[in-house]
Homo-oligomer: A and B are copies of this chain.
Amino acid sequence: MVRALDDIRILDLTHFYNGPYSTLVLGFLGAEVIKLEPPRKGERARTIFPIPDTNRESFPFVMLNSNKKGITLDLKTPRGKELFQELVEHVDVVVENFAVGVMDKLGLGYEVLKQKNPQLVYASSTGYGRSGPYSQFPAFDPIIQAMVGVMSTTGFADGPPLKAGPPLLDMLGGIHLATGILAALHQRDRTGQGVFVETSLFEAALPPLTTQISSYIAHGGKQYRRPGNTAPNNAFVPYDCYPAQDGHVLLLCADDRRWRALCRLMGREELAKDLDFATNAARRKRTDEVNAIVSTWTQSLPKQEVMNRCGAADITCGAVKEVDELLTDPHIRERGMLQDIEHPRAGRMAVLGSPWRLNDEHPPINSPSPGLGQHNELVYGQLLGLSAGEIQTLRERGVI
């Protein structure tokens, strides 16, 4: 079976969430990913939510590093720099998400590496990009949420700005990094020349603000009010988070046809014909009344049942799922978005699956996340041709 990228080898220096997500997905698509970590400590994600009784294994690390080989290398040592440049000769892609200038200071920037491998794709993801007034600022998912307008547009109008809980922008940046790498590989395949490709958390995070910027301009530059769980400017009614027997649902009617369908579901057919409720414009004037009517119905049922009945009537509705429910969600399991694996050190646990199917095939988890330096013998031995004795010496000297 052909995998899309099974002719591509990636040397992966990334850490935390952003970069490792980019190489997780490139691995799902078939690339060979060699993850390079500092000796002894490993990358930063190994210390976040650590797994008890393991040597630097953590839940997010295991979830985000399936199907990768793991090697260690100290890029600050002269021998480490040499070995790194030898590795670069054997790969198609080097990818890193260090702060601006880190690789140049190590003497391992793109200008140096392309001397070793003129066909190299070198990909960099930083917080704000390599130029511009913010380029030197330290960044982090929630900081970018503040800077790009996610926080000021999340929350209630009478409350403070609020960040989204999950690190959405880390992953949004990570998948942009993967896209940039694939485009650069396409260019390299056509020209035979290497490519330097750059993106950043900040740049990847701005496009979703298209809605908020549009709303702001369309309303004559009036400051945007945080909408809570409603549409911007309360454009659709009903549209809110409603109570259910066992939690909440988000439910919205994008047009009057769906409102009438909802009236039938609620057993309130008389409202469908009532001019005080029949049109979105009328309902917007009676938002509190509409919300009370909808809540009366939603709280009479379990959230999944509200969603099921709405779905059957083509009304957009989602149950607000708690984190524990994700782990057992039947759709997530059937689609393989979370898959249980037997990890040799972490034990049985759920890891992320591929967000794509190509020709209806869902890429398997072929190997669990690597231990620190697990594939040193394989990579330094087979790829660079070092002897077992040389590898042992490198280990003793702390180079790997």
Q: Which A residues are closer than 8 A to B by beta carbons?
A: 2-5, 7-8, 17, 21, 24-25, 29-30, 48-51, 58-60, 63-64, 128-129, 131-140, 142-156, 159-172, 175-176, 178-180, 182-187, 189-191, 195-200, 202-204, 206-218, 221, 223-224, 226-229, 232, 241, 248-250, 252, 254, 307, 311, 314-327, 330-332, 334-335, 337-338, 349-350, 352, 355-360
Shortest CB distance A240–B (Å): 10
Are B182 and A320 interface neighbours, CB within 8 A? no
Closest 5 CB pairs of A and B: A153-B165, A146-B318, A59-B214, A182-B182, A143-B318
Shortest CB distance A141–B (Å): 9
Q: A172-B175, A356-B197 are in contact. Are A183 and B335 (CB under 8 A)?
A: no
Q: Which residues of B contact A48 (CB under 8 A)?
A: 214
Copies per complex of this chain: 2
Q: How far is the CA of A254 from the CA of B139 in the complex (A)?
A: 12
Q: Which residues of B contact A325 (CB under 8 A)?
A: 149
Given A3-B187, A176-B356, A210-B352, 7 new contacts (CB under 8 A): A2-B191, A161-B320, A163-B241, A179-B182, A184-B358, A202-B331, A216-B327
Of A147, A163, A207, most B-chain CB atoms within 10 Å: A207
Shortest CB distance A148–B (Å): 7
Of A176, A191, A221, most B-chain CB atoms within 10 Å: A176
Are B322 and A211 interface neighbours, CB within 8 A? no
Shortest CB distance A389–B (Å): 39
Q: How far is the CA of A381 from the CA of B349 in the complex (A)?
A: 57
Q: Which residues of B contact A252 (CB under 8 A)?
A: 140, 142-143
Q: Which residues of B contact A228 (CB under 8 A)?
A: 162
Q: Which residues of B contact A2 (CB under 8 A)?
A: 187, 190-191
Shortest CB distance A25–B (Å): 7
Q: A206-B338, A211-B167, A358-B187 are in contact. Are A326 and B148 (CB under 8 A)?
A: yes
**Residue of chain B at shortest CB distance from A154:** B165
Shortest CB distance A188–B (Å): 9
Q: How far is the CA of A195 from the CA of B1 in the complex (A)?
A: 13
Are A209 and B323 interface neighbours, CB within 8 A? yes
Shortest CB distance A250–B (Å): 4
Q: Which residues of B contact A63 (CB under 8 A)?
A: 210, 213-214
Are B59 and A213 interface neighbours, CB within 8 A? yes
**Residue of chain B at shortest CB distance from A217:** B59
Q: How far is the CA of A210 from the CA of B319 in the complex (A)?
A: 20
Shortest CB distance A30–B (Å): 8
Q: Which residues of B contact A190 (CB under 8 A)?
A: 2, 7
Q: Which residues of B contact A172 (CB under 8 A)?
A: 168, 171-172, 175
Are A207 and B149 interface neighbours, CB within 8 A? no
**Residue of chain B at shortest CB distance from A303:** B146
Partner of A206, one of B197, B200, B217, B326: B326
Are B357 and A229 interface neighbours, CB within 8 A? no
**Residue of chain B at shortest CB distance from A142:** B250
Q: How far is the CA of A137 from the CA of B248 in the complex (A)?
A: 17
Q: A58-B214, A140-B316 are in contact. Are A322 and B186 (CB under 8 A)?
A: no
Are A318 and B147 interface neighbours, CB within 8 A? yes
Partner of A175, one of B24, B175, B187, B249: B175
Q: How far is the CA of A395 from the CA of B146 in the complex (A)?
A: 48
Partner of A165, one of B150, B175, B221: B150
Are A332 and B154 interface neighbours, CB within 8 A? no
Q: Which residues of B contact A331 (CB under 8 A)?
A: 128, 132-135, 202
